[in-house]
Amino acid sequence: MRKAFYIINPAGHGGSGMRTWEEFKALWRDPIADEDVRITERPGHAREIAAAANGYDTLVAVGGDGTVGEVISGVMDHEQAGPHVAIVPGGTGNDIARNLGMGTVDAAVAALRDGVPKTVDIVDVECQVEGRPEHRFALLYGSAGFSSLPLVKPWIKRWLGAAIAYNEATFRSILMFQPPVMKVRLAQRCFDGRSWMVIAGNAERTSGGSVRMSPNARTDDGLLDVAIYPSRNRFLMLTQLFPKIPSGAQVEEPDVAYFRTARVEVDSDPP
């Protein structure tokens, strides 16, 4: 076991993050020094903690996908090679942990004790947020355009599960979203027109494992599985495209462009 530093989100899974931490310690049993533990206090704090953590071989993110994503970004902020990242899943969906084989606390303990480090691809995202440039890193995907995440209700995730929460939010988002005009550039190709979404996937499943957004995507092939969804009317989105997403069959639709590439650029109007 390498020297580890633990970053805990107490708000994970509707405020049960500390229960996850206690469950981990009960299974881990070895003593953990207080100086090797930090509890996050606000959004973005895990990234700051991870970026400043020095002298450790492994940073252990105790929380959900948001916490893990921040820790990954913090490690990528290191000027030189940063520490490994391990996950103790303490969120609702735990998609990153699930994709990396650490979907339970028991699996996380086994990985920390006996696991061999695994190299995975990271999505390097340069984007605009409210008119300001931002540099982020992601493991699952990067997207532009349509997103159901702002409408996901935490209480639905807690009580009915991540799959129902994401599907319900997606349904409402389809009714409200206005597709922008997008110009998508990659390699020698260019797509220009009104589009619902461009998604660059690095992992096959998201949304608590219920959505096969990027069929056959792999986290270790150096490529993004990019899908471009052109504008359709809401009725067709709800009746033809949306029902196919759990199985991944949506990318077989004749008007959906789906391909692998290492880099994609998207401009849109409105931004």
pLDDT digits (tens, 9 = 90+) for 161-208: 777 777 788 888 888 888 999 999 998 789 999 999 999 999 998 877
User: With respect to CATH, is domain 130-269 assigned 3.50.50.60?
Assistant: no
CA nearest to 46, candidates 106, 101, 87: 87
Q: What is the pLDDT of residue 223?
A: 95
Q: Start-end ranges of CATH 2.60.200.40 in the chain?
A: 130-269
Regarding the domain with residue range 4-114, which homologous superfamily does it belong to in the CATH classification? Answer: Probable inorganic polyphosphate/atp-NAD kinase; domain 1 (3.40.50.10330)
The pTM for the full model equals: 0.83
Name which residue leads in pLDDT, 250 or 168: 250
Q: Report how far residue 134's alpha carbon sits from residue 200's, in angstroms, rounded to the nearest whole number.
A: 17
pLDDT of 158 above 70 = no
DSSP category for residue 271: -
241-250: long-range contacts (C-beta < 8 A, 24 or more apart)? 242/170, 242/171, 242/174, 245/170, 245/211, 245/212, 245/213, 246/210, 246/211, 246/212, 247/212, 248/204, 248/212, 248/213, 248/214, 248/215
Name which residue leads in pLDDT, 200 or 130: 200
Secondary structure (3-state) at 95: helix
Q: What is the pLDDT of residue 187?
A: 82
pLDDT of 78 above 90 = no
pLDDT of 226 above 90 = yes
Q: pLDDT-based confidence at 156, cuts 50/70/90?
A: low
Per-residue pLDDT tens digits for 206-222: 877 778 999 989 999 99
Q: pLDDT-based confidence at 1, cuts 50/70/90?
A: low
Q: Start-end ranges of CATH 3.40.50.10330 in the chain?
A: 4-114
Average pLDDT over residues 127-154: 83
Average pLDDT over residues 131-159: 80
